[in-house]
Structure 1
Amino acid sequence: MVNDLNVGGVFIPGLLIVALVALACTLLVIPLFSFSRFYRRLPFRPLIDVATYVISFFLLAQGLNVLGLFA
């Protein structure tokens, strides 16, 4: 199965699409975390942001793989 997106003859890799969707999800989730008192007390919040991105990327890739849309 080919996982590339063809836009005007330019192939965009499937992982790049998943990475951009994970970035959008992370940018939507981080403000929700900021309302929590626990998030404000964390010593190194950028590390939590990166971990949130990695987790959302993994969950998206795993979900697409289960659905059969991403091999």
Structure 2
Amino acid sequence: MRELEYQTKVLDALNEYLDVLKGEKVKADAVEALKVQQPDLPIPSVDFAKATWYTPQGSRQAAPVTRRISALRAI
């Protein structure tokens, strides 16, 4: 099977996103461990998936996001 250029780009972007996601998960786990050790501290939980999405590596800001609009909504 031949490998197309866009497939390589997508897989590279996915790998980069997953690497950033792993790092953010480690940070979130550390925060949760601290919350267990110090339950009286008002430490909010970390949404590591959201944090990853808003990093430049996670969101791939160079790639434009387009919305699809249903034709039925226009009626």
Q: TM-score range by the shorter chain?
A: 0.3 to 0.5
The TM-score, its normalising length taken from structure 2, stands at 0.39
Which has more helix, going by share of residues?
A: 1
| The structure with more radius of gyration | 2
The TM-score, its normalising length taken from structure 1, stands at 0.40
Which has more strand, going by share of residues?
A: 1
